[in-house]
């Protein structure tokens, strides 16, 4: 490491979740980067183990604060795959609505954050104001704004009220109008372009070799979308297009995410205008045995769950979050950039560290991995 080391994090405006980046600087230029993680390791996979399917759902939904619906849905999809259960049409439709609303709020939150990083506080406020409208929709349907606990195995906790679709449609219309307006403003604004264009370029082959998914991969020109590749819920019934970019820089990622907001809005509109009228099943306790996996397209990319049940209890759980694949990529992207571009690149990746932290790597003379079992022995419950 060089002499002048600037730490970013664990608490810093540049990173929204606890992570430590040690930047060795030469003047304004970053020469070497070291990433230290482990600040939000909560032993989630261990917490899932030993729980019955209905209990574990609540742990799964709390893995992430921004995409709790995705984690719920991935968990429920895995369990339903094991059960070989196909949910009624109305349940599927409502799950699609919730999923897309989540994508909208996540991308709007991200867009606001991105604008904050480049110092455009006004658009930060505006984007987050639009996000509030989406959160209002969530509150109307689920009663919660951040954590929803709406998905149950085989069904949903509540059905939607009669007046809810109109409320949501009206809100979505407003969000759509404003999002398009802000998008147009941003792509025309010279200073925004100068800050985002050609910053943090991920070429297509690099994205492929790192196994990227989600908006980042799509911005690099890879047409990958779990909603298309492995359709679930109503994704084979609604019309939407996968937004694929070309350049692979921060500006392209911004464009892809903003266009996805508009696509999501159109999916919500399509589903709500064709909502089937039927009663959803009442939630009941489940008995599950066996193993299976399930995947969904979370706002940040493909979210994968593997679960193995024994005697109706989870024996092993594995969660692979989209951020996992590009966590180390940041180290590579930050080499040789100026300090001013560091927050932009980090934000453009939209990493979710509390989702992804599974293993602690300790550097104590030599590098050693602290796996779940060891973590459990040292820090967590002494069972």
List residues binding other proteins (CB under 8 A): 4-7, 12-14, 25, 27-28, 115-122, 125-126, 129, 189, 191-192, 194-195, 338-343
- For residue 293, the 8-state DSSP code is E
Least distance between other proteins and beta carbon 362 (Å): 24
Nearer to other proteins, 53 or 200 (CB): 200
Nearer to other proteins, 124 or 210 (CB): 124
| Interaxial angle between packed helices 164-188 and 250-273, expressed in degrees from 0 to 180 and rounded to the nearest 10 | 160
Least distance between other proteins and beta carbon 112 (Å): 12
Least distance between other proteins and beta carbon 166 (Å): 26
Tokens of 319: 């969660």
Question: Are the C-beta atoms of residues 300 and 215 closer than 8 Å to each other?
Answer: yes
Listed residue (48, 261, 61) closest to 146, CA to CA? 61
DSSP 3-state percent helix, strand, coil across the chain (nearest 5)? 50, 15, 35
Least distance between other proteins and beta carbon 352 (Å): 18
Q: Which residue in this structure is represented by tokens 């453009």? A: 348
Nearer to other proteins, 27 or 365 (CB): 27
Nearer to other proteins, 327 or 342 (CB): 342
Least distance between other proteins and beta carbon 342 (Å): 7
Question: Are the C-beta atoms of residues 72 and 149 closer than 8 Å to each other?
Answer: yes
Least distance between other proteins and beta carbon 23 (Å): 9
- HSE-up (13 A, CA, CB side) for residue 116: 17
Nearer to other proteins, 268 or 342 (CB): 342
Asked whether the bond before 65 is cis by omega within 30 degrees of 0, the reply is: no
* Rounded Cα–Cα distance for residues 188 and 181 (Å): 11
Nearer to other proteins, 129 or 378 (CB): 129
Which 3 state secondary structure label does DSSP give 295?
strand
- Kindly tell me the sign of the dihedral angle through the C-alpha atoms of 173, 174, 179, 184: positive
Least distance between other proteins and beta carbon 143 (Å): 28
Pairing of β 5-8 and β 360-364: unpaired
Nearer to other proteins, 14 or 35 (CB): 14
| Strand order, beta sheet including 313-320 | 290-298, 301-310, 313-320
């Amino acid at each position: 490491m060089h002499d002048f080391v600037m730490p970013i994090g664990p608490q810093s405006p540049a990173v929204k979740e606890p992570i430590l980046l040690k930047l060795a600087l030469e003047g304004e230029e970053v020469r070497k980067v070291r990433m230290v993680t482990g600040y939000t390791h909560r032993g989630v996979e261990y917490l899932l183990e030993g729980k019955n399917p209905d209990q574990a759902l609540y742990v799964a939904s709390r893995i992430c604060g921004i995409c709790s619906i995705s984690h719920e849905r991935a968990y429920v999809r895995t369990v339903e795959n094991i059960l070989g259960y196909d949910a009624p049409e109305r349940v599927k439709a409502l799950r699609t609505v919730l999923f897309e609303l989540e994508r909208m709020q996540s991308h709007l939150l991200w867009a606001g954050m991105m604008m904050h990083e480049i110092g455009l506080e006004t658009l930060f406020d505006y984007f987050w104001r639009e996000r509030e409208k989406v959160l209002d929709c969530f509150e109307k349907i689920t009663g919660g704004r951040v954590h929803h606990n709406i998905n149950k195995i085989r069904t949903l906790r509540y059905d939607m009220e009669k007046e809810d679709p109109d409320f949501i449609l009206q809100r979505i219309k407003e969000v759509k109008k404003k999002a398009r307006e802000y998008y147009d403003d941003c792509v025309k604004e010279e200073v925004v372009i100068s800050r985002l264009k050609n910053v943090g370029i991920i070429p297509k082959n690099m994205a492929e070799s790192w196994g990227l998914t989600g908006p980042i991969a799509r911005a690099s020109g890879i047409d990958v979308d779990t909603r298309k590749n492995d359709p679930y819920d109503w994704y084979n019934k609604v019309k939407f297009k996968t937004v694929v970019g070309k350049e692979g820089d921060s500006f392209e990622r911004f464009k892809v995410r903003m266009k996805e907001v508009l696509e999501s809005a159109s999916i919500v509109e399509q589903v709500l205008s064709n909502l089937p009228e039927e009663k959803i099943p009442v939630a009941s306790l489940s008995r599950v045995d066996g193993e299976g996996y399930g995947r969904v397209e979370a706002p940040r990319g493909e979210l994968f769950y593997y679960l193995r049940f024994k005697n109706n209890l989870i024996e092993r759980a594995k969660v692979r979050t989209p951020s996992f694949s590009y966590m180390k990529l940041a180290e590579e992207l930050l080499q040789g950039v100026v300090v001013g571009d560091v927050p932009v690149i980090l934000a453009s990746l939209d990493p979710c560290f509390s989702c992804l932290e599974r293993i602690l790597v300790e550097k104590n003379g030599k590098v050693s991995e602290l796996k779940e079992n060891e973590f459990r022995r040292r820090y967590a419950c002494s069972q």
